[in-house]
Amino acid sequence: MSNPTILDPVNTIHGLYRSYQNNSTKPSVVVQAYLDEIERLNPRLGAYQNTWADTALEMAAAADKALAAGFAAGPFYGMPYALKDIFHVRG
């Protein structure tokens, strides 16, 4: 990933996983980039009802620390994701 603040729409989980492993980016940078895109596009698209940005950033920061400490995480560790609104959530 040459510039981790610019999202590559064809990037894969495997590509991000490799980027985390070789320290070319980190989860907090990727999550912030996605949150920035959601903020930019959502007023027009209305695709996201809730984002829980604070929680996402806290979890990404925890992933940053774990990866920096050498935690051998699986390929989904630190990956941003969205849940379709067909799931019931409390509150």
User: 53-65: per-residue pLDDT in tens?
Assistant: 999 999 999 999 9
Read off the pLDDT of residues 13-33 as tens digits, 9 standing for 90 and up.
888 888 898 888 999 999 999
- Predicted pLDDT at 73: 76
Does residue 5 contact residue 33 with C-beta atoms inside 8 Å? yes
Tell me the average pLDDT of the chain.
84
The yes-or-no verdict on residue 51 having pLDDT over 70 is yes
The yes-or-no verdict on residue 7 having pLDDT over 70 is no
Enclosing H/E stretch for 6: none
pTM for this prediction: 0.79
Does residue 64 contact residue 26 with C-beta atoms inside 8 Å? yes
In whole angstroms, give the CA distance from residue 9 to residue 2: 14
Using DSSP, state whether 17 is helix, strand or coil: helix
- Taking the CB of residue 67, how many other CB atoms lie within 10 A of it? 18
Does residue 33 contact residue 25 with C-beta atoms inside 8 Å? no
